[in-house]
Amino acid sequence: MNSVKSRLKEQVNALRSQAIMASAHKLLAEKGYEAMTMDDVAERVGMSKASLYKFFPSKEELAAQAMVVVLDEALALIDSLRDDPEVKAVDCLRRLTRWAMQTKLDGEMPSLPAQNSALSEALLAHEPYVDRLLALSMKLGVWVSQAQTDHDVDPGLPADFVLYQLYARSCDPVLGVMKDDGRYSRDQILDWMLQVQFTGLAPH
- The secondary structure of 149-194 as a DSSP string is HTTSS-TTS-HHHHHHHHHHGGG-HHHHHHHHH-SS-HHHHHHHHH
Q: 11 in a domain, yes or no?
A: no
For residue 110, give the nearest of 188, 36, 194, 175 by alpha carbon. 36
pLDDT band at 195 (very low <50, low <70, confident <90, very high): very high
Percent of the chain with pLDDT over 90: 59
If one counts the domains in the chain, the total is: 1
Q: 68 in a domain, yes or no?
A: yes
Q: 22 in a domain, yes or no?
A: no
Q: Say what the pLDDT of residue 117 is.
A: 67
pLDDT band at 198 (very low <50, low <70, confident <90, very high): very high
For residue 112, give the nearest of 71, 78, 72, 79 by alpha carbon. 71
Q: 39 in a domain, yes or no?
A: no
> What is the reported pTM?
0.87
Q: 185 in a domain, yes or no?
A: yes
pLDDT band at 196 (very low <50, low <70, confident <90, very high): very high
Percent of the chain with pLDDT over 70: 96
Contact predicate 33/113, CB 8 Å: yes
In the predicted structure, residue 5 carries a pLDDT above the cut 90 = no
Q: 41 in a domain, yes or no?
A: no
pLDDT tens-place string over residues 36-88:
999 999 999 999 999 999 999 999 999 999 889 999 999 999 999 877 778 89
Residue-level length of the chain: 204
Q: 103 in a domain, yes or no?
A: yes
- The secondary structure of 83-100 as a DSSP string is T-TTS-HHHHHHHHHHHH
Residue 75's CATH number: 1.10.357
pLDDT band at 171 (very low <50, low <70, confident <90, very high): confident
Q: 180 in a domain, yes or no?
A: yes
Burial state string for 120-155 with b = 16 or more CB within 10 A and e = fewer than 16:
eebbeebeebeebbeebeebbeebbebbbeeebbee
Q: Say what the pLDDT of residue 10 is.
A: 79
**Across 73-117, where does the E strand assignment appear?**
none
Which residue range forms the structural domain that includes residue 173? Answer: 58-199
Cα–Cα dist 122/124, whole Å: 6
Q: Say what the pLDDT of residue 201 is.
A: 86
For residue 163, give the nearest of 177, 144, 179 by alpha carbon. 144
Q: Say what the pLDDT of residue 9 is.
A: 75
